[in-house]
Structure 1
């Protein structure tokens, strides 16, 4: 007997996210992964080098549970709830990816052309990781938060700047995938 697992439908996961957001807002907290990274950096001593990291990280200990939950949830999702079937991609997308050098487009969530250790540890792979990491870090700081913080917390609390940031994230993603990604691969 084969167990077939499907993603949770929107009418289950959406209300669960809404309940979590309501509870966070009720207790005066916000959600965002970049604030967790700021807390980790402060714990690691970054406050000695930048005023941005000078805050009492102990007040954010609760937020570190988000990181722990993301790691545990990711582990459970990958090893217990994943359905290892091919991804149903549009044939045009498969063709475009094959033109970029992806030989198994749609056969894996993590294509080996990007996520294989040989690719990651190559000069090109390391350059992409370093430059991409810098750009994500810069963009997160410049935007005053990350995609999850703005798109979930900011929009749910009706913050205008979060709407602007989310629109910017989507435009940046479209520019990246349609113009820059083909140049890299």
Structure 2
């Protein structure tokens, strides 16, 4: 009976639900995006005393902070109770991950411990990659005026040309990273 919530939903169900959510947000005059919540959170804890960028009425964005809290709680509940924490991937990719990148748990664990385990965080190189990557992601989201979810879901739903340009940039950046930068670093 619970299979409908445990299994991935097909595109023809999930897509219209996302579209309905976007329509409702547009109807009530709200915009969706996760990175804007960082600004709201900084304003809520007094960031406006340090920088003018954080000096605004953050209470008007409380609903968006609730979305983030819901996403965190929902992600935890789904991971802990509704998932086997495995993912089916192409056997050729599993073989490549095992032979080229020494990731033995590919296809067995949703978050392979070779990449996401606690022992990975004890290596200075990995910490540096995470910190530098986090700075790039944060700077990029701010410079682009939003994150991937904001531009790809909300911006494209509003037919905003800057969001289309940002999404194309995100896609190109991801391709360059995975095909050129990642093999050099790892």
Asked if Structure 1 and Structure 2 have the same fold, meaning a TM-score greater than 0.5 normalized by the shorter chain, the answer is: yes
Q: Encode CA deviations 1:111-133: one digit per residue, 9 max, x unaligned.
A: 11211111023201210111011
Superposition CA RMSD, Å? 1.8
Distance, in Å, in 2 between the alignment partners of 1:106 and 1:80 is 19
Go from structure 1 to structure 2 and tell me whether the alpha carbon gap of 1:142 and 1:84 turns closer, same or farther (over 3 Å shift).
closer
Structure 2: tracts of 5 or more residues without a match? none
Distance, in Å, in 2 between the alignment partners of 1:86 and 1:37 is 30
Aligned to 1:37: 38
Aligned to 2:124: 123
Distance, in Å, in 2 between the alignment partners of 1:55 and 1:86 is 42
Cα deviation, residue 86, structure 1: 5.0
Cα deviation, residue 136, structure 1: 0.3
| SS class of match (1:21) | helix
| SS class of match (1:163) | helix
Aligned residues: 183
Q: Encode CA deviations 1:35-60: one digit per residue, 9 max, x unaligned.
A: 11111111222222222212111110
Distance, in Å, in 2 between the alignment partners of 1:32 and 1:110 is 25
| SS class of match (1:173) | helix
Cα deviation, residue 144, structure 1: 0.5
Q: Encode CA deviations 1:120-155: one digit per residue, 9 max, x unaligned.
A: 232012101110110001100110000000000000
Cα deviation, residue 69, structure 1: 1.3
Matched, 1:141 2:142: yes
Go from structure 1 to structure 2 and tell me whether the alpha carbon gap of 1:110 and 1:10 turns closer, same or farther (over 3 Å shift).
same
| SS class of match (2:114) | helix
Cα deviation, residue 90, structure 1: 4.0
Q: Which has the higher contact order (CA 8 A, sep 6+)?
A: 1
Aligned to 1:25: 26
Distance, in Å, in 2 between the alignment partners of 1:145 and 1:85 is 30
TM-score (norm 2): 0.91
Distance, in Å, in 2 between the alignment partners of 1:24 and 1:116 is 37
TM-score (norm 1): 0.91
Cα deviation, residue 6, structure 1: 1.5
